[in-house]
Amino acid sequence: MTTSNPFSLDGRVAMVTGANTGLGQGIAVALAQAGADVIAVGRSAPSETQAAVAAAGRRCHWVEAALDEATHVADIVERGNAALDAPVDILVNNAGTIRRADALDFTEADWDAVMGVNLKTVFFLSQAVARTWVAAGRGGKIVNIASLLSFQGGIRVPSYTASKSGLLGITRLLANEWAGKGINVNAIAPGYYATNNTQALRDDPERSRDILARIPAGRWGEPSDLGGAAVFLASRAADYVNGAVLPVDGGWLAR
């Protein structure tokens, strides 16, 4: 189905990892409001997300899967393609995890846990989806969820910083290789949002004050703030956007 509105996602199927809460939920709901059906991938049932997607008049199917290792990505894509009797058109690599400790004390286990979810699985899930698109002679959209720490070093999150910095590199590499195949690969860099990953920061009065003092918008982001960027990069309006990163950060990087 096509429409004159280049931002419309009518007739599209979007696979969103980590869509049960937080940023992933905000993105999934925004995509549904733009017309897409949603495949939510993750360990936990996305009950709230499914209800919100249904309220937008779209379908939402849960593919239960662990994303801390990449051995089952082909199965995830196969189940996603079969779930709604239509192939996946859009992949949003949102699922992520974080571990906090001083660099002097950081463990190998915490390093591997974060890199597995945030970088390794993102690459191989993107590869698995892109293989189906290339085999079918069609294009698609991949949106990776990066971070302000794709640009900055951060404090006490070495594996998270490494993974999100690497994610920008992978986004650009895949854009270079796949743009000519009709596959757009781009990224969004969220700022400081009110999610589970930032609970420790928001609970620390000093850190929370310092963070808010630097954000020109003067507030923590809400997951819904990310929706417009995701819809844009997933839509026909972004057909000539390749390898870009769009900060949605209340002005943090401009400060």
Domains and CATH numbers, the chain: 13-243 (3.40.50.720)
Q: What H or E segment, with its residue span, contains residue 245? A: strand 245-248
* Active-site entry in 160, 192, 193, 240: 160
Return the residue matching tokens 């972004």.
238
- CA-to-CA distance for 87 and 190, rounded, in angstroms? 28
pLDDT confidence bin for 2, thresholds 50/70/90: low
| Residue percentage of the chain with pLDDT more than 70 | 99
- CA-to-CA distance for 255 and 246, rounded, in angstroms? 16
Strand ranges for the chain from DSSP E: 13-17, 37-42, 60-64, 90-93, 140-145, 183-190, 245-248
Non-local (6+) Cβ contacts of 88 within 8 A are 13, 14, 15, 39, 77, 80, 81, 129, 132, 140
Q: Go through the chain and tell me how many residues it has.
A: 255
Return the residue matching tokens 């000519």.
180
Tell me the mean pLDDT in the region 214-226: 96
- CA-to-CA distance for 24 and 112, rounded, in angstroms? 22
Q: Are 60 and 46 in contact (CB under 8 A)?
A: yes
Query: 213 is written with which tokens?
Result: 């003092």
Cα 42-59-50 angle, rounded to 5 deg: 50
Single-letter code of the amino acid located at 243: G
| Residue percentage of the chain with pLDDT more than 90 | 95
Tell me the mean pLDDT in the region 42-55: 97
Write out pLDDT tens, residues 177-219.
999 999 999 999 999 999 887 888 899 999 999 999 999 999 9
CA distances 52 to 57, 61, 156, Å, are: 9, 12, 35
- Across the chain, which distance is largest between two alpha carbons, in Å? 55
**Catalytic site includes residue 160:** yes
Q: Is the per-residue pLDDT at 3 higher than 80?
A: no
